[in-house]
Chain A
């Protein structure tokens, strides 16, 4: 492109200003990408939820338990295919900073209800025979450099407290990129053996699979009606609704992220718009000369927009490359508090599109100003 040289020469006119503007784009795009993956991570529970899965919790709150005896009664409701139950363990490995989610599982039914997690049969069979056994997600194994066969302590302040020892019998992997590989599962029998008497026979929540997702509302209603007016009333909803409700406990994350993201982009718009306006004002005379020697008004607009687009493109790409490199590091630094911070191609594409949009918008006003500038007036000011 024969005008490319002119655009690049103008861009390089003030190198420090160019670097700072590109830098502001890069930082904004990095922040955009990071906020995006955090939002996605919060929403992922709903995204990965099985369409045929329901979750039954205590009507008061998920932290209130429900009886294990409900299991068979729920299983007898027409349409329920499998049921399993979990408890939150809330432990840490050696230190408070080594947090990751541990769940007590019903090993007889876990794999039928959560088929998206794959475990080699030999490892699973070993786990079934080991009362103190544990199955650990691949990311947590990697994070703590654990190996199958290791015996590890988990400290908890719940269930009477103390340090619980586990044997790592196997590693599970998610079948999809978005599946959470940070969990730690161990046996119900071992759990119930050690917890205080008053907590025995109580589980955290049920997860069930139904034959036909279309029947989920009827089944949920049937479960909750069955235990209505009992000491442990239930609340049953689809897994995605449950996950969305869980996220809501943290506040309106989506609103927060969209607000911060909008402020970032608006600020970026002001910064780049101001930079472009200064840049155009500084060379009013040069643009007037270009128009005098025959460059059209549209050419001048094209030059100004070209410059702002190049800044946006380079800054945007740098920010997204930074995000691609840094987000996995940040995900590790967050110690599994947010599962799977995944920078999706769609998020990257949207980020780049937004950067280019900001580039165009910030170049439009000074560009139109330059386009409308009267050559005679501009030359008089030179």
Chain B
């Protein structure tokens, strides 16, 4: 289970005293303040909170897309907060799978080519890349849509392709920013069922930002942020509060 403000030696992800401050002109805006967090392998965590609470900033920091003002983030024993930009790029390629609200597929590439993108950064042969892509598309149920371009797919199918792209290189964890935000309820349910399957069947670790309580309820744990501070941690399935909330 997720531990907040706890010593997390056995955790996959350890966040300690994390601050993120943006400067706008003369004004300093504290987006995240003293955040502590531990996430274990195979956990499914949802971050909720009002706009501007720091959810996406936290996701960007965890994904190595941004650097904190203070504090540390350690993933599988690697502290990423002091990595150079180049190292961080390599680290992202190996450890992070991104899933975005608007799918962000490359429109001129078909489903196969979109999913193959992360593998182009590896030393896999063409045949090995093909095997991996076909396996990833099978997991998301789109093995028969490999040659389809994004414009030929529904929103739900596009997000499935994006999920296949996120998992194809077998990353350490997945970061999802409003993955169902552009989908209707039925498609959102399908995507969440797929995410649950990734956790249950393939032991993936997922950290997800969402505004939707029904979507968040599918996660193991829901963490609420407000004004850059974790204010509540709740076991989604048992509807109980976790201790030690900052």
Contacts and interface: CB of A to CB of B under 8 A. Distances in A.
Interface of A: 2-3, 5-6, 9-10, 12-13, 285-286, 289-297, 375-376, 379, 382
A292 B98 CA distance: 8
A3 B109 CA distance: 12
Given A5-B113, A375-B65, A376-B65, A294 B118 contact: yes
A285 B100 CA distance: 11
B138 interface: no
A379 to B, nearest CB: 7
Contacts of B63: 292
SS of A interface (majority): helix
Contact of B121 (A10, A13, A294, A379): A294
Contacts of A379: 65, 100, 104
B108 interface: yes
Contact of A376 (B66, B85, B92, B97): B66
B65 A285 contact: no
Interface residues of B, number: 27
SS of B interface (majority): helix
B60 interface: yes
> Which 8 pairs show the lowest CB-CB distances between chains A and B?
A294-B93, A9-B108, A289-B104, A375-B65, A13-B108, A294-B92, A376-B66, A296-B89
Contacts of A5: 109, 113
A285 B90 CA distance: 20
Interface of B: 60, 63, 65-66, 85-86, 89-90, 92-94, 97-98, 100, 102, 104, 106-109, 113, 117-118, 120-121, 126, 165
A226 B108 CA distance: 81
A6 B66 contact: no
Contacts of B85: 297
**Which of A9, A289, A296, A382 lies at the interface centre, i.e. has the most chain B CB atoms within 10 A of its CB?**
A289
A296 B86 CA distance: 7
Given A292-B98, A293-B97, A294-B121, 7 more contacts: A286-B106, A289-B98, A290-B117, A294-B89, A295-B93, A297-B86, A379-B104
